[in-house]
Amino acid sequence: MFFNKSARKEVEDGIKPIFPRLWRYCLVLTGNKDWADDLAQAVCLKALEKADQYKPGTKLDRWLFTIAHNSWINELRKNAVRTSGGIANVDEIDIPDTKPDPESNILASEVLKEVMALPEAQRVAVILVYIEGYSYQEAADALEIPIGTIMSRLSAARTKLANKLNDESQIA
């Protein structure tokens, strides 16, 4: 087997710093901490195993996200839904206070709760575009869907979030 040392080293060295973001993406995909742990672990194992297929110098985080998405869609979601009845446990997801003022912390918790309550397809589009900085085209390519679908998912997500979160929290 062709052994791509450069690719393998970049993957081995690069996974750990990306891991918190990878886990976060897995949490958004699965909606459940236990599944996020399992999925993130599966992605890392698969990435290490397939490291020779990684193109050095390209974006490792996006390669890992693609593996996560494909693993979730093609292999793991079926089992997760089967074992849980398809119910994501949104209430168990909580975050530490990171801001000095309590209001900002409450708002952050509320925003997270509402994003996580979105349908899976919408919350994945939201995290890719608004948190991970994907362009519409990049998100469409990553999820293998038309760009119009990304637009409608983001639009639907924004409408729901606007309805749930009060006007005072909105900043232009």
Partner 1 sequence: MTKQHNFTDEQLVAFLDGEFDHTPADEIKAALAHSDVLNARLKQLTLNKSAMSDAFGALNQTAPNYEDIMGVDVAKNAIDYGSFMKIAAVALIALGVGFFASSIIKQDKLDGWHEYVAAYQALYATDTLAHVNNDDLMIENELKRVSAKLDAEISIADLQIDENLTYKRGQLLEYQGRPLVQLAFLSSDGKPVALCIMKSQSSLVANLNTREIERMQSAYWSDGNFDYMLIGPVSESMIEEFATAFSQRL
Q: Which residues bind partner 1 (CB under 8 A)?
A: 12, 15-16, 19-21, 23-24, 27, 34-35, 37-38, 40-42, 44-46, 48-49, 74-76, 78-80, 83, 93-99, 104-105, 107-112, 115, 127, 129-131, 135-136, 147-148, 151-152, 154-155, 158-159, 161-162, 165, 169-172
Q: In angstroms, what is the minimal distance from the CB of 115 to partner 1?
A: 7
Signed CA dihedral, 88, 21, 155, 149: sign only: negative
Residues in contact with 86: Cβ distance below 8 Å, sequence separation at least 6, in sequence order: none
Q: In angstroms, what is the minimal distance from the CB of 101 to partner 1?
A: 11
Residues in contact with 149: Cβ distance below 8 Å, sequence separation at least 6, in sequence order: 140
Tally the residues of the chain: 172
Question: What gap in Å lies between CA 135 and CA 156, rounded to an integer?
Answer: 17
Q: In angstroms, what is the minimal distance from the CB of 55 to partner 1?
A: 19
- Six-digit token string for 89: 């446990």
Residues in contact with 48: Cβ distance below 8 Å, sequence separation at least 6, in sequence order: 11, 12, 15
Q: Choose between 57 and 170: whose C-beta lies nearer to partner 1.
A: 170
- Six-digit token string for 129: 């575009």
Q: In angstroms, what is the minimal distance from the CB of 58 to partner 1?
A: 20
Q: Choose between 12 and 144: whose C-beta lies nearer to partner 1.
A: 12
Q: In angstroms, what is the minimal distance from the CB of 16 to partner 1?
A: 5
Question: What gap in Å lies between CA 23 and CA 54, rounded to an integer?
Answer: 20
